[in-house]
Every structure is written in structure tokens, then in C-alpha cells.
Amino acid sequence: MRMITSDGIQLAYTDQGDGPVILLLAGYSGIKEEWQYQVTFLLQHGYRVITLDWRSHGASTRTAKHLRIMRLAADVQELLSVCQVTTATLVGHSMGASVIWAYLTIFGEQRVSRIVTIDESPKPLNDTYWQAGLNGLTWENFWVRLPYILRQPMTVAGISEPLRQELKTTRAVHPFDEALCRPLLGDHLQQDWRETCQSLTIPQLMIVGAASTMWQGDYTIICENNNNDVVRMPNAGHMPHMEQPDAVNAYLHTFISA
């Protein structure tokens, strides 16, 4: 399925099933097919499941236009309108979590019943007073390290061969242009969503890859309030939903159905 955004960009998405709505949002360079195991599980359990390819990702239009987190949040708002969704659970991995926090900052909680963020710090950039960002990333080395962010290990347990092959096939048809999208990565890594996390009045589940090498500190501490739950997954890296899909599915179902 396809939609046209208010700034003229064609985005690819899927919309399946009936029931409570769950929107699954991938990370930087990620594609909607990464959620294969979650989509299958959630449909079997009576949910309506929507997935999205970000602009310049997957089957969506390749463009340098408005590659910013705030614009991606607007794309989510427009997708919810196109799909006539009045309330949804938003699930975001990595940069997808950043987009969720941006969405809540801009548009509020009216359309969102709860959120799930997967292995993402609300502030990826470290400084004197914050040491729970991306491992070793500071303003001093930001622009030097930016082109190499995707080179670091993302998984610990690996992913299943069928999923690996599907992702490989899809990416061969829709290759990711790293140079084109680098401004989006730079914008994402400069965001600070700590205030948003602390002020949420809707439930938030933070799923953490306990063996993830991405982060140099425990970013969940700053997000602790009465509405937040934290799950730490042993032997999972930066992509728990692909490394340990059955466990993540169980956590999602328990949290969403509570």
C-alpha cells in the first residue's frame, strides 16, 4: 500500500487485520519486513498491525527532502490519518523510538494509548552530564564517527536464516543509500527526548538488549516514572525483536493487553 505525504513523498506501508491498532516503526536503515515475526504473532492474537517504510527507506520514495526526525513524526501522524486510526500503540526500534518521542512531543498523546521503545537511548549524544548515549559518541568526534555508525555490531544472537534471506532479497530490490540518508542519522543522534520520557502520562515499555554494545550507560534510569516498565533481555543485542522474536512478542502482548 502507498500514501502521499503533505510534502509530496510516496511512502510504502502495510495495514492488516482487525482489532486494537499497533504501528511498528523500524530504525535507521531498517525496513518494515524486519517486523515479520511480530506481524504474524500480533495478527494471530487479534490485532490490526500497520508497518511503514520511512522516506528513503525500503519501498518508499528516495529523496533528500526533509530527512529530519520531526518530519518523520509528521509522516506518522499523516499515516494514522490515512488509515483512519483514532488510537494506537506505537512500537519503535532504535530511531523508530526517537520518532515516537518526537511524535508525542509535537502531537501529544491523544491518538496514542501506549508506546514500546526497543534498545534506544533518549539522548544518543554523550556529554559531561550524560554518559548513557551511543558508545563513545561526543560532540568532539561526532562528524568523524557519523559515517561509521552502521559498522558496529548490531546483534549478539543473530537472526533466523529465513528472516535474513527475506531482508537480503528486499534490500537487493530497494537498496539503502547511506550517503543520502546520513543527514537523517545526524539529526537523530542530536536529539534529546529525556523530558518527553519523564513527562509521559501513557504507559511506556522499554525493551533493552542487555548485551547491546551500542550504549555506554543505563539510559533507562532517566526515564523512570510510574508509567514506565523496563525489560532487559539477556543475550540480545541492538535488535531484540529479530534476535529473540518469541520473547519480544510475549512482552508486547502482555504489555498491550494489560
Q: Decide: residue 129, CB within 10 A, 0-12 exposed, 13-18 middle, 19+ buried.
A: exposed
Phi, psi (deg, nearest 5) at residue 186: -60, -40
Radius of gyration of the chain (CA): 17
pLDDT given for residue 221 in this prediction: 86
Element spanning 17, H or E:
none
Q: Please state the domain extents for the chain.
A: 2-256
Give pLDDT tens digits for 57-77: 999 999 999 999 999 999 999
CA–CA dist 10, 148 (Å, integer)? 28
Q: Is the pLDDT of residue 227 over 90?
A: no
Residue indicated by cell numbers 502521499: 4
Q: Is the pLDDT of residue 224 over 80?
A: no
pLDDT given for residue 10 in this prediction: 99
Give pLDDT tens digits for 93-152: 999 999 999 999 999 999 999 999 999 999 999 999 999 999 999 999 999 999 999 998
Give pLDDT tens digits for 21-55: 999 999 999 999 999 999 999 999 999 999 999 99
pLDDT given for residue 222 in this prediction: 78
Q: Which CATH number fits domain 2-256: 3.40.50.1820, 3.40.50.450, 3.40.718.10, 3.40.50.2300?
A: 3.40.50.1820
pLDDT given for residue 120 in this prediction: 98
- Among the residues of the chain, which ranges form H helices? 36-44, 69-82, 95-107, 142-145, 161-173, 178-189, 194-199, 240-243, 245-256
Work out the percent of the chain whose per-residue pLDDT is above 90.
95
CA–CA dist 117, 142 (Å, integer)? 24
pLDDT given for residue 58 in this prediction: 98
Mean pLDDT of 159-182: 97
Q: What is the pTM of this model?
A: 0.97
Q: Is the pLDDT of residue 243 over 90?
A: yes
